[in-house]
Amino acid sequence: MRSIQFIIFMLSVFSLTNAINGQEKIVDQVIAVVGNNIVLTSDVETQYLQMRAQGMSSQGDLKCEILEDLLAQKLMLNQAILDSIEVSPSQVEQELDQRLQMFIEQIGSQERLEAYYNKSMLEIKSDFRDLIRDQILTRQMQAQIASDISVTPSEVKSFYRSLPADSLPIIPAQVEYKQLVRNPPYSEQTKLAVRERLLELRRRIIQGEDFATLAILYSEDPGSATQGGELGFFNRSDMVKEFADAAFALKPGAVSAIVETSFGFHLIQMIESKGERINARHILIKPNISTEERTEALTFLDSLASKIREDSISFELAVRIYSEDEDTQMSGGVMVNPNTGDSKFQLDQLDQATAEVIQQLEPGDISRAFEFTDLSGNKFFKIVKVTKRIPSHKADLKNDYSILQEMTKMSKQQETFNNWIQEKIQTTYVRIDDSYKGCQFRTSGWVK
């Protein structure tokens, strides 16, 4: 039986061979219905072709296994809708933009992506928007099913000891590193130009123009612009302090003064509040960094890197004095992997620019200054120090506890998830086409 990891992988599929790829001609028909949701032939065939292209195989019938994972997804999606789980438009847009940015990096440019599909970026987004929304709903339902599951150290040890030696996962090479980050040194003239643009937009809003329309036209926040700047409901802690302070001080319909954050400059409009949460929309405009400003930032960091190499100042002290990254400033620049909670990263877990630089460094080395872009499209500058390299190896309790802890938790989640599916199948309408009724599904009850 495959673990819940595979299901999570299937939920996050957003490859260049997915639903809008016109290069594969598949005769489509409905092969399964779960509640009000359908599974098409193309859903199975597309993932089958993709997995075969990636060298994946199965001891059983791969198409049957893909179908069962899709049935489980549709079952969760059906329950998410019944439970009225909400996904805001901004959540969808943010994830959509992140996925597209990842594939733009893989294929080389936005122009190449558009040429691959023979569609504009707006058309590609339109094709994928509902798919992304359904995937987010399904993930949230899955998280809700497994929300109360935790594991103890003794359970982790027992799980590790229960694994045959040849079943221990191979951990790819990892790296630990520290970083010193600087924001772009925008000149006052550059900032003034942005403020003047926003003041003009605010004047137009006050005079009666629609905030949402202007957000669509002018906002530079890729996650919300197409939704009229709407962010969906959020808590104060979900936003940077400057933004949250301004947003929560507004009354419904009111428009803020210009708010400066690390992301740029904003106008904010309150939509409504529900208890400790509010829904708001915003217009974000980012200053354009000039060649001179870019050179200034890189020169400053390269000079600082030279002083660190000469032992004039330690990397850790330099971080505390000069870094503008609040998350790492007080830890001496230590980076924590959000996926595992520890300080180890595989290179493919890093943004492309950082991975390329770190790949060339040995432990103790200080990098050159370089520019990088985060998932929200914001540009920053930094230097990094590699503190440790860990070669590829079989997982063990001493070095890979967090990974084994996650595996133990996934095992418990899988059991809970299987029980949930077994229960929901009994009360949900499920119909599978006769051509798949011969499948040996892992969970009984799909075929009624």
Instruction: List pLDDT tens digits, range 271-289.
Output: 999 888 999 999 999 998 8
Least confident of 34-48, 231-245, 371-385: 371-385
pLDDT tens-digit map of 123-176: 988 888 998 999 999 999 988 998 889 999 999 999 999 999 888 889 999 999
364-369: long-range contacts, CB 8 A cutoff, minimum separation 24 = 366/305, 366/308, 366/309, 366/315, 367/305, 368/302, 368/305, 369/297, 369/298, 369/299, 369/300, 369/301, 369/302, 369/305
Residue 52 pLDDT:
84
d(CA 74, CA 54): 24
Task: Please give the model's pTM, rounded to 2 decimal places.
Answer: 0.60
d(CA 382, CA 177): 12
Which phi-psi region, left, alpha or beta, contains residue 232 (left: φ > 0; alpha: ψ -120 to 50)?
Answer: left
- CA 358 to centroid of chain Cα atoms: 22
Q: Decide if pLDDT at 27 tops 80.
A: no
Locus of tokens 């370089």: 370
Handedness of CA 375, 324, 191, 259 (dihedral sign): positive
Strands, E assignment, 5-65: 30-34, 37-40
- CA 221 to centroid of chain Cα atoms: 16
- The helix (run of H) or strand (run of E) holding residue 445 is none
> Of all residues in the chain, what percent carry a pLDDT higher than 70?
94
Residue 175 pLDDT:
97
pLDDT band at 376 (very low <50, low <70, confident <90, very high): low
Locus of tokens 């294929």: 107
How would DSSP label each residue in 159-213?
Answer: HHHHS-GGGSPEEPPEEEEEEEEE-----HHHHHHHHHHHHHHHHHHHTT--HHH
**Amino acid (1-letter code) at residue 181:** V
- The helix (run of H) or strand (run of E) holding residue 383 is strand 379-390
Reading the block at residue 304, the tokens are 């600082």
In the chain the domains, ranked by start, together with CATH numbers, are: 4-152+399-436 (1.10.4030.10), 170-185+289-394 (3.10.50.40), 188-285 (3.10.50.40)
Reading the block at residue 319, the tokens are 């971080």
Handedness of CA 353, 357, 363, 367 (dihedral sign): negative
d(CA 227, CA 92): 10
Number of CB atoms found within 10 A of residue 2's CB = 14
Q: Judging by beta carbons within 10 Å of its beta carbon (0-12, 13-18, 19+), is residue 333 exposed, middle or buried?
A: buried
Q: What is the mean pLDDT of residues 42-59?
A: 84
Q: Decide if pLDDT at 7 tops 90.
A: no
Sheet with 37-40: strands ordered across: 37-40, 30-34, 430-432
d(CA 357, CA 351): 10
Q: Decide if pLDDT at 189 tops 70.
A: yes
Q: Are strands 30-34 and 370-373 parallel, antiparallel or unpaired?
A: unpaired
Q: Which residue has the higher pLDDT, 256 or 126?
A: 256
d(CA 278, CA 232): 8
Q: What is the mean pLDDT of residues 210-227?
A: 91
Q: What are the helix (H) ranges across 237-283? A: 241-248
d(CA 185, CA 6): 44
Q: Decide if pLDDT at 4 tops 60.
A: no
Residue 20: name the closest of 122, 117, 134 by CA: 117
Residue 97 pLDDT:
83
